[in-house]
Structure 1
C-alpha cells in the first residue's frame, strides 16, 4: 500500500497521479504499485511539484513496516537505528533533502538556475537577442492597431538598453484595454509618434539581432500588418517564440499564460500589460532559458 499527500501542487501533476493512484480525499492518493513504478512516480512529483509539498508513505521491511519520503521544509526524515522518524525542525530550511530519490538532486539543481538575471554570467548577459512586446487595441491585426512597443537588449558594454514608444493612430481604445494598459488616446496624441516613425526606430534598435517574445506569433502578425500599412517590408530577423520552449521544458504547469510562466521562473513583472515591462520580463525569461541550453 502506498499513500501520497500533496498540497499546493499544479493541477496537471494531480491529474498525472490519478493514472496510478486513487484520490480518496483532496490531495490524498492511495495505490498499490511496484517499487519501480513508485520510485518513477516520485521522481515525476519531484520534477513537477513547483512550490507545493508532497509526502509519501509505503511498505518497507523494517520494524515499523513502512517508510516515508517528504519534501516538507519543516520536517526531516531521519533514521534511528533502522527506524524511520519524521523530525520536526524548529525553523524551516531550504536545505532539507527531498526524500531519498536522486530526483531531489535534479530538482534542487533546477531551482538553483532560477536566479535573477543580474546574477547570470557575463557570457549569458551578452547573448545577442532583442525581446519584444506590443500592446494593441485588440486581438485582430486586420482591424486593431498597435498602441505601444517595448523592447530590451544588452548593448556592447553589457548594459541593458530599452526601447519604449507609444504609437499614435488609435481613434478609440476599448475601455478594457485602457484598464489593462493605462493607455488613453490623449496619451498617444501627446507622447506618441506616428506608426512609420515608431517602426523605423524599432528597426534601428533591433538591427540584425534575433527577436524573442512570448507568444511571438501575436506580435509578429501585428508588426506584419503595420509594416504593410506604411508600405514597407516587415522584419527579416530570426524570430524565437519562447512559449513552445517553455511548454517543452515545463510540461506540468497549470497553464502557459505569461504571468504563470514568470511566476514559475521566479521573475517579477512589476507592470503587466505594459509593453516595456513585459519585454523586460520576457528578456529575463529568455536569459534563463538560454542558461538552461533550451535555445
Structure 2
C-alpha cells in the first residue's frame, strides 16, 4: 500500500499502472519486490514537494514493514519490529520567510534565472553530440549491407542512400520504403558516403539507440572500403533507458519515443530516426540520466 499527498499528477498516473487507487492518495497493489522497489525509486525521483509512505510484506514478527518521506515521522527498529515514531521537531529545518509578495518576487527571479541556465545548458548539450542511425538489408553484418545512413546535430542533418549490389528484401522495402530501384537511381558509393559521414561527425561523441548494431555495420563498411574507421566515443542509449525506465512494455525505439513524447514522423528512415534519437539523448542528459 502506498499513500501520497501533494505529489505531481504525473506520479499519480504512473502508480495507477501498477496499483489501484482505492481512495484519494491511497494505492494498493500486488507486485513483485523488484517492481515495488522500482515504484519507490520512481516516487523518490518525481515526488517534488509531496510526501509518500509505503507499507509492504516482509519476513518479520509483524509480517510487514514500511518506509516514509514524511519529515514529522521516523521509522525505527525496535527489536526487529518497525515502529513509526512521531517527531516533536521536524527533521527539516524551518525556513524563515517573508511576506507572500516578497516570496513571489523571489520565486519569479529564481525561475527566470533557472530558465536562463536551462536554456544555456540545453544549447551547450545539443551542440556537443551527434546521433547516428542506419538502415540495412538485414541483421547479419557478415552478409547484409548498409542501404541508408542518417546522422543529426542540433541544426543540421546528414542523410544518404547507398548503392547496393544485392536485391533489397521485400520485408525491408516495406519497412523502410527503400527498393533496389531507388538505391540504384539515388544511391551513392558507400566509400564516398562514409567519408562524408566522418566529416559531418567530426570529433563529437556519437549517440544512438541500440547503436552497437549500427557500429558493427559501419566498422565493416570502413574496413571494406579501406578507410580509417570512426574513433569517436560512442554511447548506446538503450541500456540507459532500460536502467532508468523499468516500466516500459518493451524497449523498441518506437515505444521509447512515445513514452518520452518525442515525435518521429518517418520511423525506419535513417535521418528521421537519427533526429528522434538526438532529441531522446538531450532529454536524458537534461534529466541527468545520461552523462557524455
- 237, 242, 261: which one pairs with 2:237? 242
List 4+ stretches of structure 1 deviating above 6 A.
7-11, 39-42
8 Å contact 1:173–1:184 — kept in the other structure? yes
Say if 2:144 is the partner of 1:144.
yes
Counterparts of 1:277 and 1:150, CA distance in 2: 8
Structure 1's unaligned 5+ residue stretches are 22-27, 32-38, 50-57, 59-119, 155-159
Q: For 1:191-210, what aligned pairs fall within 5 Å after superposition? A: 191-210=186-205
Corresponding residue for residue 25 of structure 1 = none
Superposed CA RMSD: 3.3
Query: Which structure has the higher relative contact order (CA within 8 Å, separation 6+)?
Result: 1
8 Å contact 1:48–1:252 — kept in the other structure? no
Q: Secondary structure at the match of 2:122?
A: helix
Counterparts of 1:284 and 1:231, CA distance in 2: 33
Say if 2:268 is the partner of 1:270.
no
Q: For 1:169-248, what aligned pairs fall within 5 Å after superposition? A: 169-248=164-243
Q: TM-score, normalised by structure 2?
A: 0.61
8 Å contact 1:10–1:254 — kept in the other structure? no
8 Å contact 2:15–2:39 — kept in the other structure? no
Q: Secondary structure at the match of 2:207?
A: strand
Counterparts of 1:8 and 1:167, CA distance in 2: 45
Counterparts of 2:226 and 2:197, CA distance in 1: 16
The Cα of 1:244 is off from its aligned counterpart by 1.1
* Structure 1 residues 42 and 196: CA distance shift in structure 2, 3 A: closer
Structure of higher CA gyration radius: 2
Could you list the per-position Cα deviations for residues 29-49 of structure 1 after superposition, in whole angstroms to 9, with x for gaps in the alignment? 667xxxxxxx98974675799
8 Å contact 2:38–2:246 — kept in the other structure? no
Q: For 1:102-117, what aligned pairs fall within 5 Å after superposition? A: none
8 Å contact 1:172–1:185 — kept in the other structure? yes
Q: For 1:87-166, what aligned pairs fall within 5 Å after superposition? A: 121-127=119-125, 128-154=128-154, 160-166=155-161
